[in-house]
Amino acid sequence: MSYMCLYCNGMLALDSLCPLCGKPLSDVGRLEDYSGPYSPYRSIDDLKLTNGYPDLALRLCIHQTYCGSCGYSAVMPIAERQA
């Protein structure tokens, strides 16, 4: 049983809008690719605490999103799907 992120695999495109200016947010990739090996683990631990489902939390792909228009950026956890 394997899981994959549809966004990383290019099967889905991010369709979120910037909360500040309403322009489409761009997906700049997985957080671990973006900021090094330490922050994603901390993020996943935080998610475990908040949603209470450790197995599910481990199936989350943490993406960094960015608005090229105003510079807003946010972290978006995306649930991976069974392949």
Residues that bind Zn ion (CB under 5 A): 5, 7-8, 18, 20-21, 61, 67, 69-70, 72
> Smallest gap, in angstroms, from Cβ of residue 49 to Zn ion?
22
Q: How far is the CB of 78 from Zn ion (least distance, A)?
A: 6
20 vs 58, beta carbon nearer Zn ion: 20
User: Which one, 32 or 48, has the nearer CB to Zn ion?
Assistant: 32
Burial of 11 (0-12, 13-18, 19+ CB in 10 A): exposed
- Report which of 28, 36, 34, 41 is spatially closest to residue 68, judged by C-alpha positions: 28
SS3 49: helix
